Structure 1
Amino acid sequence: MENKVSITEIVRDELISFGSDNQHSDISVSKKWEIKAFTDFSKSNNDHTFYYNSREILKIRRLMVLLKGTEAIHFRKKTNFEIVIPAHLLPEVRDKPNKSGRRAYLRGAFLASGNANINGGNYHLEVIAREPKKLFESFARRSGLHFKSYIRRGKIVYYLNSIDDIISFLTLIEAVDTVLYIYDTLLRRRVRNQTQVLVNYDLANTGRSSRAAQKQLRKIEELRTAHLLEKIPPSLREIAEVRCNNPDYTLMDIARALNLTKSGANNRLRRLLNWKYNQD
């Protein structure tokens, strides 16, 4: 039985240090957009303080990477991991969002409040918010992604349930190793399913061949009991002899034994089954 595959932790583990060693200005702007997504999707936030808590250490580590160098970060551990920072110390986003900015915002939204799985035939990715997020909706739409949404326990859930859309989203947020992992999982699943189909086909075909052989043997026995085997045409007598001597032969085996085509052997066996003695 296949284990359930949680994509969420794989994505977070892959992206925990994403962009941390690259000092290019565009990366700096992208970090600001990703931080903004964390603040937009944080569970507790106001105009004066950014507060983020989670039981999942990978989320906190990613946020610490993004906020590296920012003063007045307070990180403490109770039952959860927590980050508290005065809002005025957060990096301010002044740049108009370009493609990398939109990509970073969507990445931050998923890392802050998303999850995904590909269990069996159930493909699902979601991002949860306390209220509608127009920026998220706009950036997703401009990136060619069409999230559906519904309300669950007073929160809005943006979701994708197509494997193609999920892969497109993960590719967009640059979780490329996760995408390769998904393709590998789907390929192994497909091979396993195809193998099972072939096994089932072989079993069904074997059963059908066995029933056909038994029917042919009963017909031959009826002819022998009635002393009619010598009266059937030589070609039918020949194939009856091969069948009697080789009850486990497939149709192809019989065809090879008589140097016939498969359709030729099938035609003779059908004529044998339908043969009736005519005294006239």
Structure 2
Amino acid sequence: MSFSGTVKEELARQKLGARHCQIAEITAIISMCGGISVSKNDRFLLKIQTENLFVARKYFTLLQKTFNIEVELSIRQHHGSKNGRMYHLYVKKQEDVLQILRATGLMKPDGESYMDLADDFELADSELIRRTCCKRAFLRGAFLVTGSVSNPEKFYHLEFACASEYRARQIQQVLHSFQIDARMVQRKKYHVVYIKEGDGIVDVLNIMEAHQALMELENIRILKDMRNSLNRKVNCETANIYKTVNAAVKQIEDIRYIRDTIGFGELSEGLADMAEVRLANPDATLKELGMLLNPQVGKSGVNHRLRKLSEIADGLRGCKEEKHYD
């Protein structure tokens, strides 16, 4: 199962909270993937359609526990869905539908007409999500229907993909109320609210109370941080080794050029000793070279002498080029 599926399974299996939180979660599910049809004699039919078993299971349980009503479930084969199945849940009794519409705020104040799910349902200022716990419940329901989260082993990305910009704005507003930096973009026919930072995704999982998934994500983040830190150290050490080796090769080339051109007899005693010790110990560090000299010299002194030898070699090469030019 994908990490996204793991999160949804945990959310679907959560124990139900207070009744007002249950209604907030039901509202999210209905508003994101539900529909209301009205017959000629003003009879209401409430339905949702989903290819996700966890959504169907949670919605079925919520309606039964919250309103103690009958819910019809039908499963149909659907070639366009990922698992080949589509779950349809219906509430057909008029009194049950009206009870749900009133509780979720979808029924207008006159008690006879309902609010259109796409345009009229003002959730942001609704009493349904005035409490923090209800906002959490609403996000749980919204994630079950529209959410997904990438495998944190690869990269960090959590999103809510809504068919309506209005619905996406509602989710974004709820996330902003928790100080979550959620952004929105249009992707083909969907309006996507997304979070790309690991810390933000951890916060969203915590808000939805998906604590097992949160711990799994945190463990992966710790391992990734350790691997990245180790890789940085290895890369840094490797770069230092290359730098040291290249410097030693250059020093030996310069010293050999001096030896073959003017000989060490033209050098001061300190530089001549330094040249001979470096040629005899091509793999030695600056500290080791300093200890081989008599008297011993520190790293800065060794580095100064080697730099001086390189300057002499460069000067000799320059003189040779000038003579060749003449």
| Same-fold call, TM cutoff 0.5 | yes
The answer to whether residue 302 in structure 2 is matched with residue 265 in structure 1 is yes
Question: Who is 1:31 aligned against?
Answer: 22
Q: 8 Å contact 2:161–2:190 — kept in the other structure? A: no
Question: Who is 1:126 aligned against?
Answer: 160
Question: Who is 2:267 aligned against?
Answer: 232
Question: Who is 1:163 aligned against?
Answer: 198
Unaligned 5+ runs, structure 1? 21-25
Q: 8 Å contact 1:251–1:266 — kept in the other structure? A: yes
Note the alpha carbon deviations across 1:16-69, whole angstroms, 9 max, x for none: 22124xxxxx62321111111111111544463332232222222332342344
Provide the C-alpha distance between the structure 1 equivalents of 2:288 and 2:91, rounded to a whole number of angstroms.
80
Matches within 5 A, 1:205-216: 205-216=240-251
Q: 8 Å contact 2:160–2:192 — kept in the other structure? A: yes
How does the TM-score come out when normalised to structure 1? Answer: 0.79
* Amino acid in structure 1 at the alignment position of 2:238: L
Provide the C-alpha distance between the structure 2 equivalents of 1:50 and 1:233, rounded to a whole number of angstroms.
99
Task: Tell me: CA distance 1:221–1:162, structure 2 relative to 1, closer, same or farther (3 Å).
Answer: closer
Equivalent of residue 101 in structure 1, options 126, 129, 134: 134
Residue 149 of structure 1, CA deviation: 2.9
How does the TM-score come out when normalised to structure 2? Answer: 0.70
Question: Who is 2:146 aligned against?
Answer: 113
Question: Who is 2:232 aligned against?
Answer: 197
Task: Tell me: CA distance 1:265–1:44, structure 2 relative to 1, closer, same or farther (3 Å).
Answer: farther
Unaligned 5+ runs, structure 2? 39-43, 78-85, 106-126, 316-326
Question: Who is 2:214 aligned against?
Answer: 179
Provide the C-alpha distance between the structure 2 equivalents of 1:227 and 1:158, rounded to a whole number of angstroms.
74
Residue 153 of structure 1, CA deviation: 4.1
Residue 8 of structure 1, CA deviation: 1.9
Question: Who is 2:320 aligned against?
Answer: none
Q: 8 Å contact 2:185–2:193 — kept in the other structure? A: yes
Question: Who is 2:12 aligned against?
Answer: 16
Q: 8 Å contact 2:290–2:299 — kept in the other structure? A: yes
Larger deviation: 116-125 or 36-45? 116-125
Task: Tell me: CA distance 1:148–1:222, structure 2 relative to 1, closer, same or farther (3 Å).
Answer: closer
Equivalent of residue 51 in structure 2, options 22, 31, 55: 55
Q: 8 Å contact 1:39–1:45 — kept in the other structure? A: no
Q: 8 Å contact 1:16–1:65 — kept in the other structure? A: no
Question: Match of 1:145, SS?
Answer: coil
Q: 8 Å contact 2:47–2:88 — kept in the other structure? A: yes
- Kindly tell me the number of residue pairs found equivalent between the two proteins: 269
Larger deviation: 32-41 or 117-126? 117-126
Question: Who is 2:98 aligned against?
Answer: 88
Note the alpha carbon deviations across 1:193-230, whole angstroms, 9 max, x for none: 33333333333322222222122212222333346324
The answer to whether residue 167 in structure 2 is matched with residue 142 in structure 1 is no
The answer to whether residue 33 in structure 2 is matched with residue 42 in structure 1 is yes
Question: Who is 1:67 aligned against?
Answer: 63
The structure with the largest alpha-carbon Rg is 2
Q: 8 Å contact 1:6–1:116 — kept in the other structure? A: no
Q: 8 Å contact 2:6–2:213 — kept in the other structure? A: yes
Q: 8 Å contact 1:125–1:166 — kept in the other structure? A: no
- What is the CA RMSD across the aligned residues, in angstroms? 3.2
Question: Who is 1:23 aligned against?
Answer: none
Provide the C-alpha distance between the structure 2 equivalents of 1:254 and 1:150, rounded to a whole number of angstroms.
62
Provide the C-alpha distance between the structure 1 equivalents of 2:254 and 2:182, rounded to a whole number of angstroms.
65
Residue 172 of structure 1, CA deviation: 1.3
Question: Match of 1:41, SS?
Answer: helix
Question: Match of 1:249, SS?
Answer: coil
Larger deviation: 32-41 or 256-265? 256-265
* Amino acid in structure 1 at the alignment position of 2:98: H
Q: 8 Å contact 1:15–1:175 — kept in the other structure? A: yes
Larger deviation: 176-185 or 253-262? 253-262
Provide the C-alpha distance between the structure 2 equivalents of 1:219 and 1:150, rounded to a whole number of angstroms.
60
Provide the C-alpha distance between the structure 1 equivalents of 2:235 and 2:3, rounded to a whole number of angstroms.
31
Equivalent of residue 220 in structure 1, options 245, 255, 264: 255
> After the TM superposition, which segments of 4 or more aligned residues of structure 1 sit over 6 Å from their partners?
none
